[in-house]
Amino acid sequence: MHGAVSFAAGGEDDAADAVVLEITDTSFTAGDAESPPPPPVSVYDLAGLDPLPFPTISVRADRTRQALAAFSRLSSDPYAQRDACSNPAPRDSHQANRELLLLPRPTRRQLQISCNLEAAVQVLLYLFEPSASFTITRQTFLPLMEGGLFLAVENLLTECERWFRTMSSQISSQLVPLDFIIEIWYFTQEHGITYVQDIFPGFLAQNFVQVISTRSFVKMPYDLLYSTIECPHLTVDSEKQLCEAILCWISENLQCCEKLAPNSYGQLCLLNKVRMCLLPLEFAEGIKRKWGEIGSKVESTILNLLKDSLQTVLDAIADDDLESYRIRITEYSKKIVLSGCPQITTEFLYISVLPTNLDASFKKRMESSYAHVDYRNIILYNELEKAVKTLSFGNLHTVDLSKCPNVHFSAAIDWLKLAFPELRIFRASFCLLFQFEDLLYLLLTCPSINEIDLTIDTSIIAPEHSVISSRFDVQGVMKLKLTRYCIEDPSCDTTMKSYFSNISKLILEGRNDITDVDLLKISILKKSLCYVNIKNCTLLTDEGISKLLLKCTKIHSMVLSYTNFGNLSIQTLCTPNPLDSMDECSHVMAFRMQELHLDGCRGIGYAAMSQLMSKVNITNYLCLRETSLTNDALCNFVGSSLDYLDISETVVSMVSLAPVIRRNSNLRCLKAAGCHNLLFEHGEVDLMSGNMYGDFLQEITSTCCLEDVEMGWAFCPIRVTTLIPSFSKVRKMTVGLGTTLAENILCALPEICPLLESLVLRFQLISDKVVRNLLESSRKLRVLCLHSCLGGLTSFSFQMKAPALRILRLEWITPWMTNNDLAVLIQNYNLVELSLSGCKLLDSSSQKLISSGWPNLTCLHLEECGQITLDGVSSILNCKALEDLLLRHTGKGIGRTIITDAITELPLLRKLALDLCDASEEGYDSPNNPKGKMIRTVRMSRCKSMRSCFEHPREGSSKPVHKETIVLEWSSRQLRTTIVKERL
């Protein structure tokens, strides 16, 4: 016990008018070891007692205080004491208990009572301390409430209620702990305090995103959770977030759910609150694995909407039943995430910002507007702009419409302007229909926006591929330019510059239909653009990129991978710009580079690379994979702030890499795969002091604490201890050709890398022991890729459960795999991506196993897998969430209409790869214009028979050899058909 223990100072009169309260905690029972009570302490010394003496405390106080009369009454009347302890007074019995405070002062000098010790002490502090120094906190709230009810202290209960209402009204990032809320909920229900039940559901609903992220969420009482979800202020980023939370709660409260709905979990009122038609398709398929009935219901709802969503919306308007189709947006919303919802159309966006009390005439005008599918007339937008000008959501900063192929984006941009005046981030990844004109319109319409992501899949045709022929076909009718976003020459239009003052981050990855002219228009962002990603924008020239850099001098982060970025652009980066207002390093733009991705940029000369490396001294991310980087160039880099370095597939050696590693002790990612010269000097290098040839492993283990490592040549650890502790934080590891990890190292990986989430092993020697230990001990492992590995691997390897595993690639290592082995994989792993190569024992039954066991697969690659497609692909097309499908040498049974069928049946399909030798009718039909779909690439590899020169001519001795690949590639404007002289 801390603090002084003493009686209050005073004369004999004071002592005569004092009383000693001996308070025993109610949890103390007869038979426990008894000890004499501690000496009495003054009420004024209670605050210094930490911890409280247990189980009894003696308090000396002025007996004339009215509060002591209540204690006296309880101590002198055993029945009153018993009743008060077991049933503290509810709020509606305060009038009766208030009489206790008006009793004459007691004649006894010492009172003994039994109650909650902490509560009694808190009440005494409240009664005797100056009101200015007394504050209610989360730690004291419940004890004060319990003590206030026990003693019927009306003022204290009123102050508790006032504090509680104030606390609940303060919405902040520091949410009140859910454990505290649950405890209060149970307490107030037990004691009939109703105001908590009125306040908490709304408070939790407004902060639901934070609530479901806590460990205590599954402990929420059913009635509290139900009231929260039913609240109109319920705020979530997406309907998926809500459904996922409810299913998680149900899984942890099965007994409770059985009592509430013994026949079917799908009938729970909680799930009835989820707007099923707004769930992502992949999530709906994932539900089917555990909640078959619910998942099938959601899947059916989504697929029906895809057939005719317009008529569904019109019927809902006519029936005044829009609520189930409204995207959940409240005044507290900060994000809207609709990614992966192909059923979402522009109609869903607009009805979500409508008021609930629509008049009949407005409904008729809306129905008329919806009838005009051609949104260039902007009829619907004009009607809404007139009718609901005040309906906007100023707190919402992020909208994600990625993988929503059925949204008409020019109309969607009008929706953004109408509803979200403070929009900051807009994402529309993998949406081919989002054209460059839409981007310009977005810039004009939403002036507050500062980040845009329009990523699509990158082209698989690289400059080094041998192209036999190429043809372009314009897809459909090009959009007419509307006057509201027609910009002839933005670089000369000074009136437009004010609209483009906020865009700092622009991602156009994969947009290989963007030209230098388009890039010139983007240069109007010169006042604000800091980050640009034009990876794989293959139509851009070095000259066009250099002009962008010359105008947008504030750029400090660039992703230029697999573009024509070259010597001219480097010259722009490294030459002082006299118009630049920056002071440092003579206005050289390269000096300010924080992030630079140049992987695959083969147009950079040796001299230009050396010049660039001498300038980028403060960069954090540097990717130089597959470039002309040499030791000479890398020696010119003297930076010391690297977090990420990728020099894979270059000719550098430790002569130049060792000093870079030594200077950059904060390096978190190091990728050096395919560097054949890493342990050998290459070329002539001027050796500087300290830049001496050294051991690669010694350098990285003595300097860095890596989180992502990709190694091949020169990465040959001998002892486990050499990798600890420098690899203790590794989350991603790739080990490939050029090194062989010993079995003891592979077995010790879970110990060496306890945080491991992704492991890729190529050309390694592995065993059942290694794989089983990885699956059993690496509890966070989400990605496992085993490619062309040697060793005696058997089906015994995969009989271990790995709940976290989501991506599994077994390529050319499991020739023994049968349907029974496949069934074991299905039982043990909940996968979203599966790749199998060389599994020649699989048959057509395997297809049904895969589709029923993993209905939520987004990526499926099957190559040389027996006769899986001998009877067609009907079961594979049941995996409705597939985005990437590869079927090669899997059985001669694939029909002519496979491409059209796949695009039609799989709403999210973006990539399809086939072999023509699997066609049941010697070929495949080319698809019609897949408008409103997500398909980006279709590959068809053509085979021819070739006789081996080492075999005697005999019937059947020829084997298929891949001759060429036909590639269909869609962009926002056209279809490109290319024939490449190799297998892609």
The first and second tokens of residue 903, run together, are 């695009």
3-state helix, strand, coil in the chain (%, to 5): 40, 15, 45
Q: How many separate domains does the chain show?
A: 3
275 has which bridge partners? none
Q: What is the pLDDT of residue 586?
A: 52
Residue 266: pLDDT over 60 = no
Distance between CA atoms of 198 and 177, rounded to whole angstroms? Answer: 18
Q: Are residues 249 and 311 in the same domain?
A: no
Say if residue 55 is preceded by a cis peptide, omega within 30 of 0. yes
Q: Looking at residues 95-100, what average pLDDT do you find?
A: 35
The residue with greater pLDDT, 703 or 84, is 703
Q: How many CB atoms lie within 10 A of CB 121?
A: 21
Amino acid 53: pLDDT = 66
Structure tokens at 965: 């690949």
Mean pLDDT, residues 616-630 taken together: 94
Query: Which has the minimum average pLDDT: 52-66, 308-322, 589-603, 770-784?
Result: 52-66
Query: From CA 342, how far away is CA 339, in angstroms rounded?
Result: 8
- E strands, 560-668, in order: 595-597, 621-623, 644-646
pLDDT band at 484 (very low <50, low <70, confident <90, very high): very low
Mean pLDDT in residue range 494-522: 82
Assess contact for 534 and 528: CB atoms under 8 A: no
Are 135 and 239 members of one domain? no
Least confident of 126-140, 151-165, 311-325: 126-140
Residue 460 CB contacts under 8 Å (≥ 6 apart), including other chains: 937, 939, 967, 969, 984
Distance between alpha carbon 579 and the CA centroid of its chain, in Å? 41
Do 305 and 392 sit in the same domain of this protein?
yes
Give the ranges where 854-959 is alpha helix by DSSP (H).
Answer: 898-905
Q: Is the pLDDT of residue 573 over 50?
A: yes
- Banded model confidence at residue 832, pLDDT cuts 50, 70, 90: very high
- What's the pLDDT score for residue 859? 97
End-to-end CA distance of the chain: 77
Mean pLDDT across the stretch 271-282? Answer: 92
- Count of CB atoms situated within 10 Å of the CB of 750: 18
Please tell me the distance from the alpha carbon of residue 439 to that of residue 490, in angstroms, as a whole number: 13
Secondary structure (3-state) at 980? strand
With bands split at pLDDT 50, 70 and 90, how would you rate the model's confidence at 129?
low
Q: Answer yes or no: is pLDDT of 64 > 80.
A: no
Contacts of range 14-17, beta carbons closer than 8 Å, 24 or more positions apart = 14/62, 17/62, 17/63, 17/64
Q: What is the pTM of this model?
A: 0.85
Q: Residue 30 pLDDT > 60, yes or no?
A: no
Helix (H) or strand (E) holding 412, with range, is: helix 409-419
Q: What are phi and psi of 172, to 5 degrees?
A: -145, 170
For the ranges 348-352, 361-365, 415-419, 861-865, the maximum mean pLDDT occurs at: 861-865
- Determine the average pLDDT of the residues in 127-155: 73
Q: List the one residue out of 753, 763, 696 whose CA is nearest residue 729.
A: 753
pLDDT band at 647; cut points 50, 70, 90: very high
What average pLDDT does range 120-135 have in this prediction?
A: 67
**DSSP code at position 452:** E
- The model's confidence at residue 102, banded by pLDDT at 50, 70 and 90, is very low
Q: What is the average pLDDT across 656-666?
A: 90
Q: Is residue 344 part of a domain?
A: yes
Beta strands in 603-715 (DSSP E): 621-623, 644-646, 669-672, 708-711
Strand order of the sheet with strand 110-115?
41-42, 56-62, 18-25, 110-115
- Say yes or no to pLDDT of 280 above 90: yes
DSSP character string of 208-271: HHHHTTSGGGGGS-HHHHHHHHHSTT---S-HHHHHHHHHHHHHHTHHHHHHH-SS-GGG-HHH
Q: Average of pLDDT values for 385-403?
A: 80
pLDDT-derived band at 175 (thresholds 50, 70, 90) equals low
pLDDT band at 830 (very low <50, low <70, confident <90, very high): very high
Cα(459)–Cα(462) distance, integer angstroms: 7
Say whether both 192 and 299 belong to one domain: no
pLDDT confidence of residue 946 = 56
Residue ending a domain, among 413, 439, 454, is: 454
Is the pLDDT at 46 greater than 70? The verdict is no
DSSP for 845-865, written as a single string = HHHHHHHHH-TT-SEEEEES-
> Secondary structure of 159-187 in the HEC alphabet?
HHHHHHHHHHHCCCCCCCCHHHHHHHHHH
Mean pLDDT for the stretch of residues 158-187: 79
Predicted pLDDT of residue 609: 95
Query: Which range among 96-100, 345-349, 974-978 shows the weakest confidence by mean pLDDT?
Result: 96-100
**Alpha carbon distance 126, 106 (integer Å):** 22
pLDDT of residue 62: 61
For residues 171, 172, 174 and 177, what is the CA-based torsion angle, rounded to 10 degrees?
A: 10
Same domain flag for 283 and 404: yes
Which residues, listed in sequence order, are joined to residue 110 by a DSSP beta bridge? 20
Shared domain check, 291 and 362: yes
Confidence of residue 320 (pLDDT cuts 50, 70, 90): confident
pLDDT of residue 414: 86
Confidence at residue 485, expressed as pLDDT on a 0 to 100 scale: 39
Are 144 and 127 part of one and the same domain?
yes
Is the pLDDT score of 711 beyond 70? yes
What pLDDT score was predicted for residue 464? Answer: 79
Which of these, 591, 593, 549, 594, lies nearest to 569 by C-alpha position? 549
Q: Are 903 and 449 in contact (CB under 8 A)?
A: no
pLDDT band at 475 (very low <50, low <70, confident <90, very high): low
699, part of any domain: no
957 band by pLDDT with thresholds 50, 70 and 90? very low
Strands 18-25 and 56-62: antiparallel
Residue 205 domain flag: yes
Whether residues 164 and 182 fall in one domain: no
Which of the residue ranges 403-412, 439-448, 511-520, 927-936 would you say has the lowest mean pLDDT? 927-936
Same domain, 310 and 402: yes
The verdict on residue 51 lying in a domain is yes
What was the pLDDT predicted at 404? 94
> Band of the pLDDT at 86, cuts 50, 70, 90?
very low
Q: Is residue 532 part of a domain?
A: no
pLDDT tops 90 at residue 922: no
Per the domain annotation, does 340 fall within a domain? yes
863: pLDDT strictly greater than 90? yes
> Hey, what are 147's tokens?
């003590």
pLDDT at residue 691 greater than cutoff 50: no
pLDDT at 257: 55
Write down the mean pLDDT value for the chain.
80
580 is a domain residue: no
For residue 392, give the nearest of 370, 369, 410, 417 by alpha carbon.
417
Polymer length in residues for the chain? 984
**pLDDT grade for 90, boundaries at 50, 70 and 90:** very low
165 and 176 inside one domain: no
How far is residue 44 from each of residues 8, 18, 33, measured CA to CA in Å? 8, 14, 29
Predicted confidence at residue 96, as pLDDT, reads 35
Eight-state DSSP code of residue 37? P
Both structure tokens of 425 = 């981030």
251 and 320, same domain (yes or no): no
- End position of a domain, from candidates 225, 250, 273: 273
Confidence check: pLDDT of 583 > 90: no
Residue 687 banded pLDDT, cuts 50, 70, 90: very low
Q: H or E stretch including 962?
A: strand 959-970
Question: Largest Cα–Cα distance in the chain?
Answer: 126
Q: What are phi and psi of 473, to 5 degrees?
A: -125, 125
DSSP symbols for 525-547: GTTT--EEE-TT-TT--HHHHHH
| Least confident range of 75-89, 268-282, 896-910 | 75-89
- Which residues does residue 976 pair with via DSSP β-bridges, in sequence order? 472, 969
Q: How far is CA 440 from the centre of its chain?
A: 28
Least confident of 460-469, 628-637, 805-814: 460-469
User: DSSP characters for 658-675?
Assistant: HHHHHH-TT--EEEETT-
Residue 7's Cβ-count burial label (10 Å; 0-12, 13-18, 19+) is middle
* pLDDT level of residue 705 (50, 70, 90 thresholds): confident
Are the C-beta atoms of 775 and 802 separated by less than 8 Å? yes
**Which residue, 427, 454, 481, sits at the end of a domain?**
454
Domain-embedded: residue 133 = yes
Boundaries of domain holding 434: 275-454
Query: Which pLDDT band, with edges at 50, 70 and 90, does 721 fall under?
Result: confident
Do 281 and 881 touch, CB atoms closer than 8 A? yes
Instruction: Classify each residue of 570-588 as buried b or exposed e, where b means 16 or more C-beta atoms within 10 Å of its C-beta.
Output: bebbbbebeeeeeeeeebb
Share of the chain above pLDDT 70, in %: 75
Same domain? For 166 and 301 the reply is no
Contact residues for 420 (Cβ-Cβ < 8 A; gap 6+): 392, 393, 394, 396, 399, 446
What's residue 383's pLDDT?
62
Range 880-903 average pLDDT: 94
pLDDT band, very low/low/confident/very high, at 272 (cuts 50, 70, 90) = confident
